[in-house]
Amino acid sequence: MSRPLNHALRVTVWNEFRHERASAQVGAVYPDGIHEALAAPLRAAGHAVRTATLDEPEHGLGAGVLEATDVLLWWGHRAHAEVEDDVVARVHARVLAGMGLIALHSAHFSKIFKRLMGTSCALKWRVADERERLWVVAPGHPIAAGLPERIDLAREEMYGEHFDIPPPDELVLLSWFQGGEVFRSGCCFHRGAGRIFYFRPGHETYPTYHEPAIQQVIANAVRWAAPAAPITPRRGHSEPLEPIG
């Protein structure tokens, strides 16, 4: 009734794709865009991956694309406000209907993530070329499968607590920063029939998404977030199943 568990998934990688074109520094790190850096290892794992970017019509997320997407990755930063509310509403409905969503790094402030969380999603931040260590706190979680006990990143942006999200339904990774902060960096949420994973690393000036351990987390998260079976919840007025009175 449910699909085979390791079938190829239909993955859409959405990227704002502005930094890479506007900044030589970022363009040097991600010459084909962050979306292609994210897509390549998922393609190599056998998934059917397409990409979509802000400046395409409907941001590349027409109804047909979303209907044909099992898991959506989202990277955005500067232009959150330019994402049209109609597209956000469409993505929101698809997540509640079962599509997985992986919100990456500065997507914490994206319209879609804030709408799903219901909170401000504010946090502390600093760009100072500092070390980050991501520690696994749920070693049996599917998103931690095959990971070492920690992932070290030589240079990253700092994100610090308090991170204004709902208490995660599952907490997988915690970050340590050289400058003195901590952060809930790998957080699972269940909303409607959809599964959401927030994953902190990925500032555009650092080669984070080229790191194999980071790619492993994302690949695990894609598998975890994929819907297990089509869902058609029945809601609204209902006749009684037992006699009343």
User: 73, 40 in Cβ contact below 8 A?
Assistant: no
Residue closer to its own copies by CB (options 23, 120) is 120
The answer to whether 126 contacts its own copies (rule: CB under 8 A) is yes
Residue closer to its own copies by CB (options 79, 137) is 137
Measured CA distances, 147 to 38, 78, 79, 138 (Å): 18, 31, 33, 11
Distance, CA of 56 to CA of 132 (rounded, Å): 34
The answer to whether 57 contacts its own copies (rule: CB under 8 A) is no
| Closest distance of CB 163 from its own copies, Å | 7
Cβ-Cβ contacts under 8 Å for 211 (sequence gap 6 or more): 151, 153
Residue closer to its own copies by CB (options 35, 105) is 105
Distance, CA of 194 to CA of 233 (rounded, Å): 13
The answer to whether 146 contacts its own copies (rule: CB under 8 A) is yes
The answer to whether 142 contacts its own copies (rule: CB under 8 A) is yes
The answer to whether 40 contacts its own copies (rule: CB under 8 A) is no
Residue closer to its own copies by CB (options 60, 217) is 217
Structure tokens at 165: 């999200």
User: 59, 89 in Cβ contact below 8 A?
Assistant: no
Residue 30 amino acid letter = Y
Phi, psi of 167 (to 5 degrees): -55, 125
| Closest distance of CB 222 from its own copies, Å | 12
3-state SS, residue 44:
helix
| Closest distance of CB 191 from its own copies, Å | 5
User: 193, 185 in Cβ contact below 8 A?
Assistant: no
The answer to whether 239 contacts its own copies (rule: CB under 8 A) is yes
CA dihedral of 151, 36, 219, 119, whole degrees rounded to 10: 80
The answer to whether 201 contacts its own copies (rule: CB under 8 A) is no
| Closest distance of CB 53 from its own copies, Å | 25
The answer to whether 223 contacts its own copies (rule: CB under 8 A) is yes
User: 113, 198 in Cβ contact below 8 A?
Assistant: yes
Distance, CA of 165 to CA of 122 (rounded, Å): 8
Residue closer to its own copies by CB (options 36, 99) is 99
The answer to whether 154 contacts its own copies (rule: CB under 8 A) is no
Residue closer to its own copies by CB (options 49, 158) is 158
Q: Which positions from 161 through 190 interact with its own copies, judged by CB under 8 A?
A: 161-164, 166-167, 169-171, 174-182, 184, 189-190
The answer to whether 86 contacts its own copies (rule: CB under 8 A) is no
